[in-house]
Homo-oligomer: A and B are copies of this chain.
Amino acid sequence: MGQLTGGDPSLLRRINSAVVLHALRATDSATLTEVTQVTGLSRPTVEGVVEGLIDGGLVVETAADESAARRQGRPARRFRFRAEAGHLLGLEIGPHRVSALLSDLDGRVLGSLAKDVCETASADERLERLRTTVAELLRRAGVARGSLRAVGVATPGIVEADGTVRLGTALPQWTGLPLGERLRRSFKCPVLVENDANAAAVAEHWKGAATGSDDIVFVLAGLSPGAGSLIGGRLHRGFGGAAGEIGALHLLGSEVTPETLLSTTGEPLHPLDEQAVAEVFTHARAGDERARAAVERFIQRLVHDVAALVLALDPELVVIGGWAAGLDGVLEPLRKELARFCLRSPRVTLSLLGEAAIATGALRLALDHVEEQLFAVEGTVTARR
């Protein structure tokens, strides 16, 4: 499709670097001849680029294959992408726990660690808990903090582009917290903050229940559900980062509050009290009438919220996750009701990643950021003569 000549030589070098990196990353190892063939670049260009990448620590010559050497005389030198040249973190800051995933530059998970945190913990306490979790994870994995290239963080609430929590009622002191700024003090690399349901949507698309679809809604089911959506494979955050915050829909009119939704006693449940909620489901399965009625109310609410999302967005696939995902009986009524009144019913399935979804999505966002820097080959070239 034409050649890029003249123009900005440093841009050209970056593009060529990215092309070579991309080729090496797609295989275990390759010879310069193989890279030349795959990329269409000239031999001298490939040699120069590979040398630069070795100097930068991103590529290394692999040990010679002795048997091949014996068989064929001196073997061609082979090179590989050094996925271990940098590391990424995916962090979840939730109401009950903080968790951390560590990966290499290929996104391969090297370790994970989660710690409980009190639902009433202050923002400082919660962040301190996260810091000690990260420190322990890095120490266990033998990875230096300076090796981190990007950190993704996912948390409940509406998150602004700069990582400030605009509104986060699920965690104490969360609204207004400059979470990105606070965490950037702990890390010298970029820190990307995202809403938890958005991160989970990204995760299920990456390696969960939604790998085959680019138009999905992920519902973080709960007493006050949230959702994240991908449109054409890209996260839809909304104009103010609040897309998918469907839990507020029940505040309208005479519908019951989340706290009384699953109550069997008239006493409100705390929306985050997963154990009390699980007990209601257990009692319902055991035949308790009041528990069954409460579960019925819960499912009807969930159906209504999911229906609103489906009608607004028309996704190919709905993935249900969050703490309610493990509980029986949500999926079938959802499918049935959506089929009944949605003009075009999406497929509905359960999360495959379960409670790992949120941190996994945060990790993927960090990986996206690094890939954009390392592997970006897109560039608009204006045609002139």
A residues neighboring B (CB under 8 Å):
1-8, 12, 15-16, 19, 40-42, 45, 158, 166-167, 215, 227, 229, 231, 236-246, 248-249, 251-253, 300, 303-304, 307-309, 311-316, 337, 340-344, 346, 377-385
Q: Which B-chain residue is minimally distant from A315 (CB atoms)?
A: B239
A8: B residues at CB distance < 8 A: 1-2
Does B242 contact A344, Cβ atoms closer than 8 Å? yes
Say which residue of B4, B238, B314 sits within 8 Å of A243 (CB atoms).
Answer: B314
A307: B residues at CB distance < 8 A: 248-249, 252
Compute how far the CA of A41 lies from the CA of B241 in the bound complex, rounded to whole angstroms: 42
The list of the 8 closest CB pairs from A to B, nearest first, reads: A238-B314, A2-B7, A312-B312, A308-B308, A243-B314, A251-B341, A240-B344, A4-B383
Does B252 contact A12, Cβ atoms closer than 8 Å? no
Could you list 15 examples of A-B contacts with CB < 8 Å?
A1-B7, A2-B5, A2-B8, A4-B384, A41-B385, A42-B385, A239-B314, A245-B314, A246-B311, A246-B312, A248-B307, A248-B341, A252-B303, A252-B337, A312-B313
Does A166 contact B7, Cβ atoms closer than 8 Å? no
Stoichiometry (number of copies)? 2
20 additional A-B pairs beyond A3-B385, A19-B383, A252-B303, beta carbons within 8 Å, are A2-B7, A3-B7, A4-B384, A5-B5, A16-B383, A40-B384, A42-B385, A167-B343, A231-B231, A231-B236, A237-B314, A239-B344, A245-B343, A248-B307, A249-B311, A249-B341, A251-B340, A253-B300, A308-B312, A313-B313
Does A12 contact B383, Cβ atoms closer than 8 Å? yes
Query: In the complex, which of the residues A236, A311, A383 has the most CB atoms of chain B within 10 Å of its own CB atom?
Result: A383
A377: B residues at CB distance < 8 A: 383
- Closest CB in chain B relative to A355 CB, distance in Å: 24
- Closest CB in chain B relative to A3 CB, distance in Å: 6
- Closest CB in chain B relative to A304 CB, distance in Å: 6
A385: B residues at CB distance < 8 A: 3-5, 12, 16, 41-42, 45
Does B381 contact A252, Cβ atoms closer than 8 Å? no
A341: B residues at CB distance < 8 A: 248-249, 251-252
